[in-house]
Structure 1
Amino acid sequence: MSTAIGPTSHVPPEIHRRRWAILTVLLFSLLVVVLDNSILNVAMKTIATPAPSGLGATQSELEWAVNSYTLVFAGLLFTAGLLGDRLGRKKMLLGGMLVFGVASLLSAYSASPGQLIGFRALMGFGAAFIMPATLAIIMNVFERDEQPRAIGIWAGAVGLAIAIGPITGGALLEHFWWGSVFMINVPIVAASLVAMVLLVPDSKDPDPGRLDPFGVLLSIAGLTLLIFGVIRGGQNADFTRPEVWATVLGGLVILTAFVLYERRSSHPALDMAYFRNPRFSAAVATIGLAFFALMGVTFFVVFYTQSVRGYSPLQTGLLLLPLAVAQLIIAPRANKVVERFGTGPVCAGGMVIVGLAFLGFLFLDENTPIVGLEIVFLLMGSGMALVMPPATVSIMHSLPREKAGSGSAVNNTFRQVGGAMGVAVLGSLTSAVYRGGIEGELAATPLPPGVRHTAAESIEATRTVAERLGAAGDALMGPANAAYVHAMHVTSAVAGGIALVAAVLVGYFLPGREDDPEAGASDEARENAAAGER
């Protein structure tokens, strides 16, 4: 007999009593997955050093150590959510955690850059089955009136993990070898697996219908090509190369074919009718835009703090704490604000705050007191905390409870695609503006044309060339810092404008308090209404 819970049924009492303990266990699994997206960044220089200190990885190999994880993770998220609905979310969660833990151990002891890239892809495979399952299980162990608070805690944990990744990585590298940034996952995974077996209930869709293998394959191919193209464009800081735009275009064509096929299918993997609901579509777009902002800002801020201001990786991680703390405090309480003002105004207000935080970067330069950056991060975290939980609740409440895995998969897919786009687009814009600002200075330096071109790619590349030039190179760093600050200003202004436009669209399409079907309605009233419709 299925343990799945229908969209209007109550949670069994034995599950209900354990719901907060279950949430705690799920947060640990979420923590290692999101943490691993950011923790590797601080270990890059160490991994690039020759053995035995590192692996002697080239710049391209380092990039693929990061991107192999992202590519597999994003490409399989949607499919993993569908399998959870069909086969059982607990099974998918346990399987994903086991693969993730084993792959983390293998990554820690990689003997070559190629092995590290392969094991990181395996980690992404495991993570893809963990992420959708956590949110789907939350929807199936909490009653509807407590789901917003639980999702707020879940969203706050995501923000916390993103921010503490560099802190954890920096602290580990100060005391242990480079593999410790992966080894840290192993005991957490082991303890979580035991707790999951004992505490977490299984659930699945009681009527999943026929399989849709062709639709699933289209989704994997389309998402993989799209993310691959975005990653390559970000690496090259150039989206005009055929290998980039052709791959992105190919991914979009396949995803369009997926949508058309699903609309005509009698047993679609994803019911496209969900997107006709403005509440669902606008919330999905909000998730993507919010993570576009968050991942984009954490990318270019690292270079501002380390290359321009001279902070260490650990210090840079600590500077991100206001962003994490704001989300940790505000996200679990965002539902109280939604109850008073409605989903649309709260999400729109959050996006306005995010936009203003981006514009706050315009006031930062090479000598601004660092408290200015902390205020910007505090604003950014507060805005994100007001956007993510209500938008996620809107997505999950737009679908029947038995489709929680599908809803979670859509939510996390747009989150991952938005984050990848933020890094690629904002990173590329920063690189292009920086190149325009430093090329004049480099032209006056006695460098071969090839070296001059390489030195203009980033402020770190300029610094590397300047160190080789000795005293002549010291004169380059002042203009390089100024060029990067200008590039950061331009990128921040563009991102802030996008966030403010998004705020208008979000406020228009998401419901206000009087239009919100969740506002002021009791569980019993909603269930009676649903029963009447049936």
Structure 2
Amino acid sequence: MSAKSVDIHNKRYSRFMFVLVILFATFAGMLMQTSLGTALPTLMDDFHINLATAQEATTWFLLANGIMIPVSAYLSTKFPTKKLYIFAFGLLLVGQFISYSAPVTNWTWFLIGRIIQAISVGITMPLMQVVLVYIFPAEKRGAAMGLSGLVIGMAPAIGPTLSGWILDSSHSFASFTLSNSWRSIFLLPMAVIALTFLLSFIFLRDVIPNQPVHLDFRSLVQSTLGFGLFLWGLTNVANANYGGWTDMTHVIIPGAVGIFFIIIFLWHQLEMRHPFLDIRVFAVKQFSVTTVLISLSMMAMIGIEMMLPTYLQQLRGLSPLSSGLTLLPGALLIGIMSPIAGAVYDRSGAKRLARVGFLILLIATIPFLFFGLNTPRDFITVFYSLRMFGIAMVMMPLTASAMSALPKEKAADGTASNNTVRQVLTAMVVSLLSSVTQNIANTNAPVASLKQQNIFEFGQRTLDASLKGFHVSFAISLFFALLGLILAGMLHSGKVIEQDPDLLDEKGGN
């Protein structure tokens, strides 16, 4: 144990066990962000819902997650680290059990569990990054953020694969899983969370200095209404029961009202002496650019991750396990490469890594535009893995660079701001791609009368229509990669050192 491993009460603790507990618990929580992607067809069958409604399992998760992340800066500053983690882990366990036990006649009950899970992850994920900033020295920041890449990058990537394996295997244990195989997806994360919840009482410590900050109720209401309504409007875009982007009641009005509250929330933060969320961190160019680039990498990753399992199962007829195994090498690769990329950042900085990473991501996405009904699975696996390799080279170095561009005492605000932008944009992408894929498929669908005349041709045209929708979604992900490659040139050259005077001068000093 390092001699520097002492908490804010000057008591020694095991930094290794501390990090291990929070990594495993946060990993189990982040798995739930994408693990249901492979299970969407199963959920559609069991709950008797369409694709757009099933997608709410992800969009509502992102919505609640996006609401909570701005609050995380206040929570991590106000409350002791250990108590906050114990509360969040307990909440995550409750949320997972609610979704696990939801009757197939009550989709709303399932979503309530998802929302509770998202609230917990909205606390634990940004809190993990702040903790790593505090317990690791600046010269090891890249390697530390590389560890967080096992969670932020690998967990969403491996989620579809793991759930595919569980869905295929759970049929042998139908009685244990209440005769619904999708329930099995929650069992392993619940077991991990239960164990880490108990270990939290032993190994976690208070490592973030607390301050008697006052909860500004006005900021809390503005933040909740702003991000909540805006993201809610986005989730309604893909709902087949509504009118898409032009639906005034369910999309345009809540979206516009949400934007209004976000604007007055941001304005209020700038006026406050002690803001609820210090958005002045965006005045540092390096932090702002890295935040945008991290968001673009996540948007490009989620854009493929959420649509590819559905393409493999609905258009290619693969089982959940087969589609998951197709994605497994890429998921493992991002887990292997994230710590390595973080260590490389400690030596050379983020600019070169980001440029190469986005270039690889761009090149590896192009073949997705030409995927057909008979594209070899090995071909899909290779290019999906290349995409994950590029994302690993981008995400963790940029995260370390963003956190190092700010003074340590601004880590909570920086992490919350960074993750809020990322989650909002990710939610937008999920809604956009779901609606685009469905709308293009509907627009190009054959006329119903053809089914009576030639059922074979009707089926083929239906598949072709759906394929066009997926191609457009993949093209949007390609655009995000291209934009990231262009903007990477704006990064600071070399490694960013914490409280670098050149970077602080960009916002007028401390």
Q: What TM-score comes out, normalization by structure 2 length?
A: 0.86
CA distance in 1: counterparts of 2:361 and 2:377, whole angstroms: 19
Work out the CA distance in 1 between the residues paired with 2:186 and 2:73: 25
2:94 maps to what in 1? 102
Q: Letter of the aligned partner of 1:198 in structure 2?
A: I
Question: 1:340 deviation in Å?
Answer: 5.2
Matched, 1:169 2:151: no
Look up the match of 1:84. Answer: 76
Matched, 1:228 2:220: no
CA shift, 1:492, in A, is: 2.6
Amino acid at match of 1:430: T
How far has the Cα of 1:40 moved from its partner? 2.6
Q: 1:141 pairs with 131, 135, 147, which one? A: 135
5 Å-filtered alignment, 1:261-300, equals 261-300=268-307
Bigger Cα displacement from structure 2, 220-229 vs 487-496 = 487-496
SS at match of 1:399: coil
How many Å separate the matches in 2 of 1:381 and 1:60? Answer: 26
Q: Do the aligned partners of residues 33 and 365 (structure 1) sit closer, same or farther apart at CA in structure 2, a change above 3 Å counting?
A: same
| 1:258 shift after superposition | 1.1
The amino acid across from 1:190 in the alignment is: A
| Deviating more after overlay: 60-69 vs 217-226 | 60-69
* 1:432, distance to aligned residue in structure 2 (A): 3.2
Q: Where does residue 478 of structure 1 map in the other structure?
A: 460
Distance 1:374 1:65 in 2: 26
d(CA) in 2 for partners of 1:205 and 1:218?
A: 27
Aligned pairs (5 A) from 1:435-454: 435-438=442-445, 441-442=446-447, 444-445=449-450
What is residue 120 of structure 1 aligned with on the other side? 114
Q: 1:330 to 1:59 in 2, by over 3 A?
A: closer
Moved more, 318-327 or 54-63: 54-63
SS in 2 for 1:235: coil
For residues 103-126 of structure 1, what are the alpha-carbon distances to aligned partners after superposition, in whole Å with 9 as ceiling and x for unaligned?
222322223333222232222222
The equivalent of 1:39 in structure 2 is: 35
Aligned partner letter, 2:489: G
Picking from 329, 342, 365, the partner of 2:336 is: 329
TM-score, structure 1 as length reference: 0.83
Mapped pair 1:23 → 2:31: no
Q: Which stretch of structure 1 is more off in the superposition, 181-190 or 261-270?
A: 181-190
Percent identity of equivalent pairs: 25
Aligned twin of 1:466: none
Q: 1:119 to 1:506 in 2, by over 3 A?
A: same
Q: Tell me the amino acid that sits aligned with residue 33 of structure 1.
A: G
1:241-281 superposed Cα distances (whole Å, 9 cap, x missing partner): 21212222222221111111111112211223211101111
Cα distance change, pair 358–134 in 1 and its aligned pair in 2 (3 A): same
User: For the Cα contact (< 8 Å) 1:72–1:125, is it kept in 2?
Assistant: yes
Structure 1 residues 240 and 349: CA distance shift in structure 2, 3 A: farther
The CA distance in 2 between the partners of 1:498 and 1:115, in whole Å, is 35
Question: How many residues are paired up?
Answer: 484
Q: Distance in 1 between matches of 2:55 and 2:345?
A: 40
1:241 to 241, 247, 262: 247
- Give, in whole Å, the separation in 2 of the partners of 1:230 and 1:391: 27
What per-residue deviation string (whole Å, max 9, x for no partner) do you get for residues 275-323 of structure 1? 1101111111112211111111112212321122221111111111122
* Residue 127 of structure 1: how far off its partner (Å): 2.3
Q: Which residue of 2 aligns with 1:303?
A: 310
Equivalent of residue 265 in structure 2, options 255, 258, 275: 258
Q: Are the aligned partners of 1:61 and 1:117 in contact in 2 as well (CA < 8 Å)?
A: no
Aligned-partner residue type, residue 463 of structure 2: N
Deviation readout 1:183-213 (Å, 9 max, x if unpaired) = 3332211210122221222133444644322
Counting only pairs closer than 5 Å after superposition, residues 112-511 of structure 1 correspond to structure 2 as 112-173=106-167, 174-175=169-170, 176=173, 177=177, 178=180, 179-207=183-211, 209-236=213-240, 238-242=244-248, 243-339=250-346, 341-438=348-445, 441-442=446-447, 444-445=449-450, 472-508=454-490, 510-511=491-492
Matched AA of 1:38:
T
Structure 1 spans left out of the alignment, 5+ residues: 1-9, 447-468, 527-532
The alpha-carbon deviation at position 476 of structure 1 amounts to: 2.1
Query: Partners in 2 of 1:160 and 1:258 — Cα distance?
Result: 33
Write out per-residue CA displacement over residues 478-520 of structure 1, whole angstroms, 9 at most, x where no aligned residue: 2233333333333333432332122211321x2011xx4429x
1:234 is matched by which residue type in structure 2? A
The residue aligned with 1:6 is: none
> RMSD of aligned C-alpha atoms?
2.9
SS of 1:267's partner is: coil
Question: Is the alpha carbon distance of 1:322 and 1:46 closer, same or farther for their aligned partners in structure 2, counting shifts above 3 Å?
Answer: closer
Aligned with 1:311: secondary structure? coil
- Where do 5+ consecutive residues of structure 2 fail to align? 503-508
Distance change in 2, residues 1:152/1:276 (3 Å): same
Q: Which SS does the other structure have where 1:40 is aligned? A: coil
CA offset digits 1:34-87 (Å, max 9, x no partner):
1112223344444455xxxx5556767644444443322221111133211221
Find the aligned partners of 1:507 and 1:186 in 2 and give their Cα distance. 43
Residue type at the aligned position of 1:375: V
Structure 1 residue 409, shift from structure 2 partner: 2.0
